[in-house]
Amino acid sequence: MIDQLIKKIQETEAPIVVGLDPMLDYVPERLKREAFAKFGETLAGAGEAIWEFNRGIIDQIWDVVPAVKPQIAMYEQFGIPGIEAFQKTAAYAKEKGLLVIGDIKRGDIGSTSLAYAVGHLGKVKVGNREYAPFTEDFVTVNPYLGSDGIRPFLDVCKAEKKGIFVLVKTSNPSSGEFQDRQIEGRPLYEWVGEQVSRWGEELMGESYSYVGAVVGATYPEIGKSLRKLMPNTFILVPGYGAQGGNGKDLKAFFNEDGLGAIVNSSRGIIAAYRQASYASFGEEGYAGAARQAALDMKADLRQAWER
């Protein structure tokens, strides 16, 4: 799967993943009106509204980016109908040829992590039959519980040729509270990064491992040091745009081969129509604005390369 991601990045020339983290606030009034007309102002109405919103975006971006990253919390907050919207979004994105990174940040003790791994990346047995409930291609995983919480994900990834991105250094302001603490003279995130690299050794694709890392765009210096520490680890980089990271800072996350990272933008793309620079698209043109914002991000990254 990591090889497929790389191939798609090369085809689209866009190391970009679109974060499908819809808030009801972003959804144009007409879509909400239609969804509420069908289901009322209910959780089902909310699920329908964000699903239709996502569908519009996917229709406009499937040919310009390699992947989408739905953040499951934004769906889970609407209960079952929200999770249905998550599932439909993931399935539709795959139908359109996009890879799907489920931003689920799960992680637990071994037997429990296995259930998450099976549910999101693998197949679960019911009697004599097998089902793939959530069908993402990659998921994000939290490392706090150590190797035996990661192991089941590795096993399922190996069987299914899928991948994970393990949180190493997150993009939020207080990520340093624990992640930056010094252990034998080096920050915790480096110890985690080394483990990620080790976990990845048994799951190598052509040049990168199926086991990737999450490192926030908001910490480019750290990105640089982790890039060196984990040469074969693909880095998922959140925090571009709305969270404050920008194009010129991102070079540090990539290797000399121009690969090794994929940068996420959520709000900056899916709610682009609310920015002054895309206002001409109007609310109805939200998906067209998202396409343009993705193309502009691609140009921004390319410029950063050429600097």
Which residues are annotated as catalytic? Answer: 105
Residue 170 to residues 107, 189, 239, 261, 267, Cα–Cα distance (Å): 15, 9, 9, 15, 17
Site for a second copy in 45-74 (CB under 8 A): 45-46, 71, 73-74
Separation between Cα atoms, residue 102 and residue 147, nearest integer Å: 21
φ and ψ at residue 204, rounded to 5 degrees: -80, 135
Q: Contact between 143 and a second copy (CB under 8 A)?
A: yes
Provide φ and ψ at 275, rounded to 5°.
Answer: -85, 150
Out of 13, 38, 63, 80, which residue is the one contacting a second copy (CB under 8 A)?
Answer: 80
Q: Rank residues 24 and 204 by Cβ distance to a second copy and give the closer one.
A: 24
Do the beta carbons of residue 163 and residue 157 sit within 8 Å? yes
How many of the other CB atoms lie within 10 Å of CB of 217?
26
> Is 29 an interacting residue with respect to a second copy (CB under 8 A)?
no
Does residue number 229 form part of the binding site for a second copy (CB under 8 A)?
no
Q: Does 175 bind a second copy (CB under 8 A)?
A: yes
Instruction: Indicate whether 183 belongs to the interface with a second copy (CB under 8 A).
Output: yes
Q: Let me know: does 66 contact 14? Beta carbons within 8 Å.
A: yes
Q: Which of 29, 177, 206, 221 binds a second copy (CB under 8 A)?
A: 177
Q: Residue 39 or 304: which CB sits closer to a second copy?
A: 39
d(CA 265, CA 271): 10
Using the minimum distance from each CB to a second copy, give the nearer residue, 127 or 256.
127
Contact indicator for 156, 122 with CB cutoff of 8 Å:
yes
Which residues make up the interface to a second copy (CB under 8 A)? 21, 24, 32, 36, 41-43, 45-46, 71, 73-74, 76-80, 82-84, 87, 105-110, 112-113, 115-116, 118-120, 124-129, 131, 133-134, 142-149, 167, 170-179, 181-184, 188, 191-192, 195
